[in-house]
Amino acid sequence: MPPGKDALPPGGRWARISRPVRSKAKKFLAWLFSGKSEKASHLLILPASFWLSFFLVIPIVLLLVLSLAQRGPYGTVIWHPTLDNFRRAFTPLYIPIVARTLLYCGAAAVICLLLGYPTAYFLSFYAGEWRDTFLILLMIPFWTSALVSIYSWIIILGRDGLMNSVLTGIGLLHTPLDVLNTPFSVILGLVYFYLPFMILPLYSSLEKIPKQYMEASYDLGAGAFQTFLKVTLPLSLPGVFAGFILTFVPCLGDFLTAEFLGGPRTYLIGNLIENQFLMAQDWPFGAALTAVLLGAMLVGLYYYQKLEAAEIA
């Protein structure tokens, strides 16, 4: 035991601080946690609020301001307000990239919906006691680094990857297929990564449907298919829309999938933004592209909130 440790009065380390300071600090803490004052509650949330303002809101506001600036020589920024960056984003040079992003993300979201709906349906009505396990299994690929799942697709789809060696091995193919660097591989990567974003909202809206509704439908003579079409599917539509927004919107900002599973001909807005900030050093243009992305996100969010409000009402 270090010398002097047992000499500490009850109250331990607190006692080392001089008495007036200690009592003041104690009073302050008691006030802070008392809940008697409205100010104290706000003060407890203040550090978190400060953190979010400093590291999330201010950077985004700065980006919006930056998107109105101009690029100077050697990647410097000239603070002269202009809308040129936004105009440039919709010139023939960049429209294909914007259109491609919308197309790939839309396709990915639709495929996620088609693949995910039956799984969500299974989880809600047939998984029984295994439901929690299945839900965790769904979350694990979602929590692993995007890099890891992309890398594992490279192993499978690559020119001398698993798929080609199996297909040539069993004699189905004579020359290996070039699957990587095609729209197919990019959309596949997007679908794989964003599937959980689709299934979870679908699951939560399917799960809420009272079983009696389906039973009632059966009692009234409808078959399984008719019940699904006329009862289950319409009631799960909020989940369908929510899932679509939650897959489509984050998909718009993806750049890793196209970087590794695609090539320059499949680049998306995310790649363009990355390029403006890290290679081309045209930050104002990159900021304008990001602002477009944020705009799309806000529209999505608006509809998502509306859906939630409608569901509560």
Partner 1 sequence: MKNKWLSFYAAAFYAFLYMPLSVMFFFSFNNARRNVLWRGFTFKWYGVLLHDAGLLGALLTSLKIAILSSLLASALGLLASYALVCRPPRFGRAFYSSWLNAPLLVPEIVMGVGLLSFFVRIGVPLNFWTLACAHAMIALPYTIGSIRARLLSLKSSQLEEAAMDLGADQWEAFIRVTLPLAKPAIVSGALLAFTISFEDFVTSFFIAGIGVVTMPIKVYSMMKFGVTPEINALSCCLLLTTLVFLLSARMLRRTPNS
Site for partner 1 in 58-87 (CB under 8 A): 58-60, 62-63, 66
Shortest spacing between CB 288 and partner 1, in angstroms: 11
For residue 197, state whether it binds partner 1 (rule: CB under 8 A). Answer: no
Tokens describing residue 304:
């998502």
Asked if 2 is part of the footprint of partner 1 (rule: CB under 8 A), the reply reads no
Q: Could you identify the residue written with the tokens 């299934």? A: 199
Output 119 or 204, the one with its CB closest to partner 1: 119
* Region of residue 209 (phi > 0: left; psi between -120 and 50: alpha; otherwise: beta): beta
Scan residues 155-194 and list those touching partner 1 (CB under 8 A).
155-156, 158, 160-162, 165, 192
Among the candidate windows 86-94, 104-112, 138-146, 202-210, which touches partner 1 by CB under 8 A? 138-146
By CB under 8 A, is residue 216 in contact with partner 1?
Answer: no
Taking the complex as a whole, the smallest distance from the CB of residue 297 to partner 1 amounts, in Å, to 6
CA dihedral (217, 218, 223, 227) positive or negative: positive
- 255-284 residues in contact with partner 1 (CB under 8 A) are 255-256, 260, 270, 273-274, 277-278, 283
CB of 3 to partner 1, least distance (A): 28
Is residue 143 near partner 1 by the rule CB under 8 A?
yes
Exposed, middle or buried, 245 (CB in 10 Å: 0-12/13-18/19+)? buried
Residue selected from 14, 33, 213, 302 as contacting partner 1 according to rule CB under 8 A: 33
Q: What stretches of the chain show up as alpha helix (H) in DSSP?
A: 19-34, 38-52, 58-66, 84-89, 95-125, 131-143, 146-157, 162-169, 183-207, 211-219, 224-227, 233-252, 256-261, 269-278, 283-312
3-state secondary structure of 70: strand
52 binds partner 1 (CB under 8 A): yes
- By CB under 8 A, is residue 24 in contact with partner 1? no
> What are the angstrom distances between the C-alpha of 70 and each of 14, 151, 269?
56, 37, 20
Question: What minimum distance in Å lies between the beta carbon of 183 and partner 1?
Answer: 19
